[in-house]
Amino acid sequence: MNTSNKPVCALLWIAAYMILIDIAINVAFPYPKDPHNISPSAIAQFFEYGRSVEGKLTRMTGKTDASSAPIISAGWLQDAQIKPTSNLQVRPNTTVVTVYGMSHAVLLAQDLATIDKSLSVRIFGAPGAVPTWSYASYLFDRKQQHSDVVVLGIMTLGVPLICTTSGATNHFESVEPYTYPRFFFSNGMLRSALPPFISIDQYRDTFYNPDKWNSYVKWLKQYDKYYDPLLFHKTFLDSSSLLRMLRRAYAHTSQRSKMAEVYEDRNGFNGNSEEVQILLTVIRKFSEDARQNNSLPIIYIVNNVFLSDHLFTILRPTLFADKILFLSTHDICPPNDPRNYLPDSHFIPSKNMELARAMAKIIMENNHNRSVRSQLVR
Amino acid sequence: MPFNSVTFITFFILVYALYRQLPHKGQNILLLIASYLFYAWWSLRFLFLIILSTTLDYVCGLMIGEGFIPKAKRHLISSWLVLSALFLVAIQWNRINDGQLSQKHLFSRLFSDKTALYILLATVLIIVAFNLLNDIFVRLTIPNRQQLFLILSIVGNLSILCAFKYLNFFIDNLQPILHALGFDSNRLHLQIVLPVGLSFYIFMTMSYTIDIYRRRLIPTKHVHEYALFVAFFPKLLAGPIERAAAFLPQIANKRDLTTDKLMSGLQQTLSGFFKKLVIADGVAGTVSGIFGHTYQLSWADATLGTFLFTIQIYCDFSGYSDIAIGTARLLGFELMTNFNFPYFSRNPSEFWGRWHISLSSWFRDYVFFPLGGPYGSPSRWMRNVLVTFLLVGFWHGAAWNYILWGLYHGILLCLHRIKESLRSSKRRPQHLLSKSLTTLAFFVLINFSWILFRSSSPSQIADIVRPLFHDIGNLKLNVDLPTKAALLGFPIFLFMEFLGNFARGRRIDQIIPLPLWTALDAAMIFIILLALANVPSGFIYFQF
């Protein structure tokens, strides 16, 4: 071969191989078209992570519940949609405990219900719920049902996402369309902006109406810190598995840099960030509101694996100053010991039960409004 | 500006595009400016240290080799150093936009750091003293002048190195003595970070003056060429530790940018990115999980952690070297080989001829041989080996684990030498199986050495070593496995290593047909794309 042609030939060979790999991945690991198939193979899922947000929503959203992926019904705030995510019911002569938060909080609540029969546990959860979702959920729920005890679940990984407004922007790889308000400071006061839709029906209506959808995108651009047009909009790039991987890499890089403004592994949270300021205000407001409403507020602090007790550390001054009850997981499940955690980041069942017992103890010792004796199952 | 960043790739493309348009001298100037920018991206202040070390050794080199520096050149160098101290250290650029102070306070804001002003003052005083004493230096006898400037160069460079790298270590370890003498050791601590690449460029500049003193090198008259030798960006942060004798001629002479160089440069750069982004970064999480554990490790944890760190440090550092060598080749430069498939070594002597070659050969030439080398009585050469490797360990960092690691390798070398001297002179050639078993056995010993290197305290060493011997067979893993990209890339990495080892210096495109090596390249690009989403980690050797 002529030496001068060699680089050109090599480049052509490499390009041909890359096209071949791209096609082979799309053919060998197609993502199932059926939206009800929620557990495709790990490899098929892996190559789909980089699909645009709109691309993922299109795949999971049908015109009816029957033609949609089940996940799209999770996490909606609107009153009609707020219902316990488990079938636990409020029983007479029991202490009503309502837990708001992410899956860790849901699992805690489920164990709590089994260990103390004097408690009626209600649960409001959303996948990966951020603290502002939990707080908004409480604000919606308190209009419907009085609770003796209200538990707000927050986790380390949720705090940097406080300035997001939807499951569609806060976790790029696993998109969910549910929305929640964007809290912000205005003239030193905590305000909120409600998204254009907060129920699944409103979402469907918006999603299938280009004008409404465009105005929603404009709203996202204005209020959501994690909205990124390169990640959000469906384009021809979705068809190529290699370009999807590039988009995924970009998503990780850009979200990591946004997260780094709020949280760093070594130093913990940046106390001056807007997210931390909103979190501290939300916690203060939550406890004030609950006390005014004659409820006992408790903060459930989940310190994620390998992230030390940074969340507890940033909250501690506020919790002690405002005498807010809390359960922080770091004592029972040291975050630096991965044996306390399942591969999906939840606590192992025995530790979860231990946490639930600790929560039951806090409730038992502090809930003076209780009309019944505790029936703690040992 | 780390290699594994979009910023560097953009920077390199821009520099390369401009470089191809310029004549030879313009290329050198461009590379010098680009190299200083590259370093200033990390720290503007520490760029002054590079310029200081460059000036020191350029002056010492000329005074040793030529005996004088022409007046005009002396003034040029003096002005250059003072201006560098002024603009890089004394002026606090970050305070220009501070506060709402009026313009009249701008001057006091810009010169608000007293330490920085002392550094400027010290620089001016040194320059004035050198210029005043110049006539005396010139009148000295040649041997006296050469010795004086060699000592100046070595003391000057080692002082910079000690101040930034070793001072705190010595203060910590001499705390009782300092306390008895009435010093508060906490107040003596320097609250600064170690400048990236310091150990690498200090060793390069020292070898330059030593080689001139030994009459193995003629000093360059062109300060910008010497400055480029020190600061050339592909090798600035973590080597290879180049020798001036090999590098300066490449700067001085016109470089060929052939298609062949372009291809092999790209290939080596790709291989470096693959090793770093896919393998080293892909196993980093598992290694950190095990070495940063807060629980009882199982045998499987300790074994996996040790093995993966062995792979990580090799892929991290040789990956860096590959990118450095590859990008330098794209610019027409040939850097020395730094790694030659070291894990295929069968004994410590062979290992140190294949691992971090630029450092081991530096210590061989400038420490081991001056101490007496392998000659003399067994106790003498063993002493020479142990002293050399103690210093090799200490070069890596001011901590006892690195010293232990160096001594471990020194002891291995001594034992190997004793074993070799006891063996009969008539040796039968080893079979393939026997060779493989020897390689494997030595690989286990190397794995063990990395425990010493990676651990930050004796208790951590004990925590890792204990389950290796007391929990044999416990396969319970408590940590996450490496990333998917790393698991997918590992067979390709192994294939490339075996192929490279058996190719004995030939390039991959010279030993396998084009469709096959391009398929390997495509596979590597594909897996790099997979790995791009992983959390990038810094290069391990940047801390040295």
Question: What is the tens place of the pLDDT at every residue in B351-375?
Answer: 999 999 999 999 999 999 988 888 8
Residues from B in contact with A at Cβ < 8 Å: 6, 259-260, 262-263, 289, 292-295, 478-480, 484, 509, 514-515, 518-519, 521-523, 525-526, 529-530, 532-535
Give residue A5's pLDDT. 78
CB contact under 8 A, A336 and B535: no
Give residue A113's pLDDT. 87
Asked if residues A138 and A152 have their Cβ atoms less than 8 Å apart, the reply is yes
Q: Is A142 exposed, middle or buried (0-12, 13-18, 19+ CB in 10 A)?
A: middle
Give residue B424's pLDDT. 62
CB contact under 8 A, A256 and B532: no
Give residue B306's pLDDT. 93
Q: Is B108 exposed, middle or buried (0-12, 13-18, 19+ CB in 10 A)?
A: exposed
User: Could you tell me which residues are beta bridge partners of residue A376?
Assistant: A116
Give residue A375's pLDDT. 46
- The CA-atom distances, in angstroms, between B79 and each of A202, A216, B126, B138 are 71, 61, 12, 21
B148-162: pLDDT as tens digits: 999 999 999 999 888
What is the average pLDDT score of chain B?
87
B102-127: pLDDT as tens digits: 566 767 777 777 788 888 888 889 88
Give residue B89's pLDDT. 84
Name the pLDDT band for B97 (thresholds 50, 70, 90): low
Give residue B419's pLDDT. 85
CA atoms of A127 and A125, how far apart (whole Å): 7
CA atoms of B245 and B373, how far apart (whole Å): 22
Name the pLDDT band for B409 (thresholds 50, 70, 90): very high
Rg, C-alpha atoms of chain B: 25
CB contact under 8 A, A7 and B263: yes
Give residue B427's pLDDT. 65
Asked if residues A196 and A210 have their Cβ atoms less than 8 Å apart, the reply is no
Closest Cα of chain B to A289: distance in Å? 39
Give mean pLDDT in consecutive 10-residue pieces for chain A, a chain of 378 residues.
73 93 89 76 84 92 87 76 54 84 92 86 89 93 87 94 93 91 88 91 92 94 94 90 91 90 89 93 94 93 90 94 93 86 88 94 77 45
- Joined together, the tokens standing for residue B207 give 């070898």
Give residue B116's pLDDT. 82
Asked if residues A327 and A301 have their Cβ atoms less than 8 Å apart, the reply is yes
Residue B396 annotated as catalytic: yes
User: Could you tell me which residues are beta bridge partners of residue A298?
Assistant: A151, A325
Give residue B167's pLDDT. 79
3-state secondary structure of A192: strand
A103-155: pLDDT as tens digits: 999 999 989 988 888 888 888 888 889 999 999 999 988 888 888 999 999 99
Helices (H), chain A: 6-28, 42-46, 53-60, 103-115, 131-141, 167-170, 200-207, 210-223, 229-232, 241-260, 274-292, 310-321, 349-366
CB contact under 8 A, B529 and A249: yes
CA atoms of A275 and A158, how far apart (whole Å): 10
Which residue of the set B189, B224, B396, B409 is catalytic? B396
pTM listed for this prediction? 0.81
Taking residues B197-219, report their average pLDDT.
92
CB contact under 8 A, A10 and B533: no
Give residue A374's pLDDT. 45
CA atoms of B17 and B30, how far apart (whole Å): 11
Closest Cα of chain A to B201: distance in Å? 29
Give residue A79's pLDDT. 52
Domains of chain B, residue spans: 6-252, 257-339+456-544, 345-422
Give residue B309's pLDDT. 94
Asked if residues B366 and B391 have their Cβ atoms less than 8 Å apart, the reply is no
Whether the pLDDT of residue B292 is over 60: the answer is: yes
Whether the pLDDT of residue B329 is over 70: the answer is: yes
